[in-house]
Structure 1
Amino acid sequence: MEGRQESPQQTVRDLIEAAGDRMPQETGGSVRTALANAMVGMKKQLYGRGPTAAKAWLLDDYVFVAMEGGLTRNEETLLAAGKEELVREYRLSFQETVKATAMSSVEELLGRRVLTYHSQIVFHPPRTFEIFVLEPQSR
């Protein structure tokens, strides 16, 4: 999309294949499944470990992706030592660094511009939530 800094990033196909799936048009799969798999693939490639489960929802101009598991051993060790804020700060900082990859994946799959991207993590049980706000469709 215009105005966004370009950085080396994976294609949405690479991310979905990293999650062990194929593009939706190749398998008759749903766009929601492709969105979930793209986020799982991104986490696997960038963290070295990905979520164990994921689900995506589309509602009007919003995309919500919830993912379970996927903490690294380092993060689990820090959490066991009571360092939740350190792990949260690291994760959110890292998400900010890779947001162009996440946003471009959603844009490619939906054919719509992403206006904003938000990420959150909770630890008990470990879950991450990715929220994308889409540009409204012409009515």
Structure 2
Amino acid sequence: MADDEASTARDSMTSAISNHVVQLTREYTGRGPTKARTYLNQDLVTVVMQDALTRAEHHLIDDDGEALVLRTRRAYQDTMRARLIEGIEQLTSRRVLAFLSANSIAPDYSIESFILEGAP
């Protein structure tokens, strides 16, 4: 495969992965992030999302509910886990060995990472 073709295929895959994660986040939380970018490196896929907190979550944070928002976000990610992994496996044609997830309130970022089995 020529370099241009490989780059286009990679860009297409990272875009599809970002869309998959954003769509599931929107489906489960009622609001998706305004920005998302996927990084693909050998056996690691990481999706960095920005500006995903809902209006209700912002109100909870303003009322000292940051810990509650983080616990709720963790619960969303645990609930989405199987569907996130299924989509990543379909898009990459590789098995996901581990799924890791984290959130930050200020600034509003979240990360979904997938460790893949086998060679790319």
Where on the TM-score scale, by shorter chain, does this alignment land: which range? 0.7 to 0.9
TM-score (norm 1): 0.76
Query: Which protein has the bigger helix share?
Result: 2
Distance across 2 between alignment mates of 1:90 and 1:33: 27
2:74 alignment partner, one of 63, 69, 92: 92
Distance across 2 between alignment mates of 1:57 and 1:94: 22
Could you tell me which runs of 5 or more consecutive residues in structure 1 were left unpaired when the two chains were aligned: 1-27
TM-score (norm 2): 0.87
Q: Secondary structure at the match of 1:98?
A: helix
Distance across 2 between alignment mates of 1:98 and 1:38: 11
Cα shift readout 1:84-107 (whole Å, capped 9, x = no counterpart): 111111111221111000000100
Counterpart check, 1:69 vs 2:47: no
Counterpart check, 1:53 vs 2:31: no
Counterpart check, 1:136 vs 2:98: no
Q: Secondary structure at the match of 1:91?
A: helix
State the Cα RMSD in Å.
Answer: 1.4
| Letter of the structure 2 residue corresponding to residue 73 of structure 1 | R
Q: Secondary structure at the match of 2:118?
A: coil
Could you tell me which runs of 5 or more consecutive residues in structure 2 were left unpaired when the two chains were aligned: 1-8
Q: 2:104·2:110 contact (CA, 8 Å) conserved in 1?
A: yes
Distance across 2 between alignment mates of 1:128 and 1:51: 9
Q: After TM superposition, which residue ranges in structure 1, 4 or more long, deviate above 3 angstroms?
A: none
Bigger RCO of structures 1 and 2 (CA < 8 A, at least 6 apart): 2
Q: 1:101: which partner in 2?
A: 83
Counterpart check, 1:126 vs 2:91: no
